[in-house]
Amino acid sequence: MRSAFYFLSILWVASLHAQQGPGGFQAPPPGPPPNLVKVKDDLYILQNQASNMGDLIAYGGNATIFLTNAGVILIDSKNDQEHDDLIAKLKTLTDKPIKYVILTHNHADHSGGAAKLEAMGATLLITANDRDNMVLGNQPGTPDLGYVGHAQLTLGGKEVELREFRGHTRGDTVAYLPSERVICLGDLLTTADTIPMIVSYADGGSWTDWSRSMDEILKMDFDMAIPGHGPMVTKQQLVQIRAKFGGHSRACPRHESQPQVRRRDHPNLNQRI
């Protein structure tokens, strides 16, 4: 199973940075439950407090909450076990329902809670490439909607622009909130000291394309970047992270095919080139 391969891979890499006892690598116990980090008046991160491997296993990755007067747009769902805490935290911010859940990629620490959110009435969205990964992995909560290249979602007068890149997987989503000047990068970026950046080759990831994708992302007009794990960083800090990891500097090739949504007549999900 592809998600299991990713999980074992990241545990192996993290073990290189951790003390090993006689029994080999053991993830630390999780810290306290995730807390809400305010980014803007209508934008929050449900972020793990310890941001270590124990937190990743227990709670999943970052989830970004974008509030509108017509409902909530959630970017990543954390994992299945974190669902009740996520809903409880959300209710402290708004009484509006979750309308859309954008999955940055297919791995269970970001998509594992999607099935329960869909059961509550939320519409799920992921790239067509990572939807294929979820299908191959027989993962619960596989979205009906899979976009290619670019898409734009509008709710309550607020926009989220979606762009597909390759790096961590074959079809990572970067969610850009133009009114907030914030981007959500999923696991194209991790800033937690004990959770290194990694590509999932089983899911079509590529370090070479990660470099190209980051060069393209840095051309976008934003102030802050929210990673898949760890605290958000400024654009200048992201420039430094890109330089640290080196690689190719040429821009990511444009998607030549017309963006599309693999479902008909969905009024709030607009195609965009």
List CB contacts of 2: < 8 A, sequence separation 6 or more: 106, 133, 136, 137, 200, 202, 203
Nearest-CA neighbor of 235 among 194, 193, 176?
Answer: 176
* H-assigned helices in 51-194: 53-59, 83-91, 108-111, 114-119, 128-136
- Whole-number Å distance between alpha carbons of 193 and 189: 12
Residue 31 confidence class, pLDDT cut points 50, 70, 90: very high
- pLDDT of 247 reads 52
Among 132-141, 196-205, 256-265, the range scoring the smallest mean pLDDT is 256-265
- pLDDT of 71 reads 98
196 or 26: which leads in pLDDT: 196
- pLDDT of 256 reads 26
- Whole-number Å distance between alpha carbons of 273 and 29: 45
User: Rounded to a whole number, what is the largest CA-CA distance in the chain?
Assistant: 58
Cα distances from 100 to residues 16, 117, 254, in angstroms, run: 37, 9, 26
Q: What percent of the chain has a predicted confidence (pLDDT) above 70?
A: 81
- pLDDT of 75 reads 99
- pLDDT of 21 reads 37
Element (H, E) at 235: helix 235-245
DSSP 206: -
The predicted-structure confidence for 195-236, as pLDDT tens digits, reads as follows 999 999 999 999 999 999 999 999 999 999 999 999 999 999
The predicted-structure confidence for 147-182, as pLDDT tens digits, reads as follows 999 999 999 999 999 999 999 999 999 999 999 999
Length of the chain: 273
Question: pLDDT at residue 26 above 90?
Answer: no
Residue 270: beta bridge partners?
152
Question: pLDDT at residue 5 above 50?
Answer: no
DSSP 24: B
List CB contacts of 9: < 8 A, sequence separation 6 or more: 198, 200, 202
List CB contacts of 50: < 8 A, sequence separation 6 or more: 28, 30, 31, 32
